[in-house]
Chain A
């Protein structure tokens, strides 16, 4: 057995995902009781000790972020659960919220308690209507049990309206404030000036679920899985040419090849059965060749050696019949569609990459694409424009992947 179930609930559980029974069964009521008896600093120390890093893509140390918000000046503070999940090939927050919405919410309440926030928002992708209902039920449960609600920590759901960029933290704040979801310039960082200019802690769904299981147990239990550098487990979303697509929870450090091939995980490459490449981290991710896949583990250092990152945990698999030029054209179109349009390198750059791709120029105009890509990485305001050329650049750096079919 390679699959772990910690963030995801035990398959044998018969309780409703949003029910009080589930809260008790998962130890989340104890987690809340324990955290409420602790000082802010003790909670933050525990999160820091666990080594949890953000699961939304950037892998920022979670304890450090909590500590910054806790120290920031301000009467009013906010916490936000980022459930906008719009990255291509990423559908793990959806599964997590459907199967165990109380986990992420308990993490959110502990976060609010630790940094002194009285108001929490859950920003959820607009298309996730059923997920939203499940989340609302879980909020009701926590309100009835006295953990959430007005006078305690008020939790409000806000729905996105179909823009990938609204998942970027500062664009998300603007969206909650009723403005266009245009990212803001950093600094100032959200930890100092977030929602309505107040210190704000924003975390991905999976990050918060990690906090909940950490407090339901302890740092030692948490570190039973994973590597020395990165304790715990990660949700990965397998899609494309894979026998068993879906969301799986695996320990950090697992070989990528095992994730693809283990019978209880990916079950092997589908289609022709021969791997051409894996796109790791979604549209803004990096292509890995079969050789690189064979040498990599699911950990930041191992993947960093190949210029890749775990990102959101999206693993898209392509067999050797796939023309990667076609894939890159689709990715380019995605970014051109989803750019907010605020800054020049991204507004026009994403359009030009898409046009060059449509005209079949990806393998010939490499010099222009590299300079354009570099300018986008360097000079775009936010992560969208900064990462939009990465998948393309990763293929330009791997001529072996470029053979045309």
Chain B
């Protein structure tokens, strides 16, 4: 008691610090639950429902990514209801969105035994790619509406609020306001939405072009760690280099300064480093 709580996870007692989520507690007990929308540096959106667990006394299943552990809770991570919900969530998403660049969803589909065709044959989110700027592409046929991009653009990181969910039901979608192209929107191209997108629905233009030409090859990419040279904040950059060319810039999610977030200069202002016209 005091600053810790003890609960049972799949029959096994686990003691965690007060305020720990069920997801983290399950992790500690080595009974990890799958997640899709949850991200370590963002407020839980509670949207995907892949992480649900059964808590004794609760009428419905409970999203473990946001629910805080309480003393005496009895949690099941693999009951019949939990397994059914996980499988159906995977099946519904696979019937709607292109999961080809969504490793978490593909692994959920695999582990839950989902049948990708069960709810197929109806409406999908297939739609034209939005290629309206030089920095990143919106391929929303791949979107699973996890809300991560909205939160990164909003008060979890960027505070620009350039994108939000518009529409409702099956027609809900990520939008930069009135269906606008990004250059007409409030977007400042920090690329933080791209960094947190788990499905490739938001993807750097360089990566997109190389993938379209069949030239993207993960096995050839090396990462070089450096510090951004634009200002004095000290953001760590990981330069992803393929064939001696920078193809993507990220920052580690656990970096104390960036938490994985950058600005437009650090994220996309790298061409000068490999310019033919450089005079160094």
Contacts and interface: CB of A to CB of B under 8 A. Distances in A.
Contact of B89 (A337, A341, A351, A375): A375
Contact of A379 (B61, B121, B122, B144): B61
Given A344-B49, A345-B89, A379-B89, A351 B122 contact: yes
B92 to A, nearest CB: 4
Interface string B89-126: 10011011000000000000000000000110111000
A180 to B, nearest CB: 7
Interface in A346-371: 347-352, 355, 368, 371
Nearest to A349: B92
B24 interface: no
B172 A368 contact: no
Contacts of A119: none
A372 interface: yes
Contacts of B52: 378-379
Contacts of B85: 345, 374-375, 378-379
A163 to B, nearest CB: 7
A341 B167 contact: yes
Interface in B36-61: 44, 46-50, 52, 60-61
A89 B88 CA distance: 31
A327 interface: no
State the main secondary structure of chain B at its contact with A: loop
B170 interface: yes
A106 to B, nearest CB: 33
A355 B122 CA distance: 7
A348 B48 contact: no
A379 B60 contact: yes
A344 B167 CA distance: 15
Interface string B165-199: 10111111000000000000000000000000000
Contacts of A336: 169-170
A378 B145 contact: no
A182 to B, nearest CB: 8
B84 interface: yes
A352 B92 contact: yes
A165 B168 CA distance: 10
Contacts of A338: 168-169
Interface string A320-353: 0000000000000000111111111101111110
Given A351-B122, A379-B61, A343 B88 contact: no
B169 A345 contact: no
Contact of A343 (B44, B49, B66): B49
How many B residues touch the partner, as a band?
Answer: 35 or more
Nearest to A179: B164
Contacts of B47: 342-344
A342 B85 CA distance: 16
B199 to A, nearest CB: 13
Contacts of A352: 92, 95, 119, 122
A82 interface: no
A349 B96 CA distance: 11
Contact of B169 (A187, A337, A355, A372): A337
Interface string B127-171: 000000000000000001100000000000000000011011111
A296 interface: no
Contacts of A371: 84, 87-88
Most A CB contacts (10 A, CB to CB) among B49, B96, B172 go to: B49
11 contacts: A337-B169, A342-B172, A344-B92, A348-B95, A351-B169, A352-B95, A374-B81, A375-B85, A375-B88, A375-B89, A379-B52
Given A351-B170, A375-B89, 18 more contacts: A336-B169, A336-B170, A338-B169, A341-B167, A341-B170, A342-B165, A343-B46, A344-B49, A344-B92, A348-B119, A348-B170, A349-B92, A351-B123, A352-B119, A355-B123, A374-B85, A379-B49, A379-B88
Interface of B: 44, 46-50, 52, 60-61, 63, 66-67, 81, 84-85, 87-89, 92-93, 95-96, 118-119, 121-123, 144-145, 164-165, 167-172
**Which 8 pairs, one residue from A and one from B, show the smallest C-beta to C-beta distance?**
A341-B172, A375-B88, A348-B92, A355-B122, A339-B169, A379-B85, A351-B170, A379-B49
Interface of A: 163, 165, 180, 185, 187, 336-345, 347-352, 355, 368, 371-372, 374-375, 377-381, 386
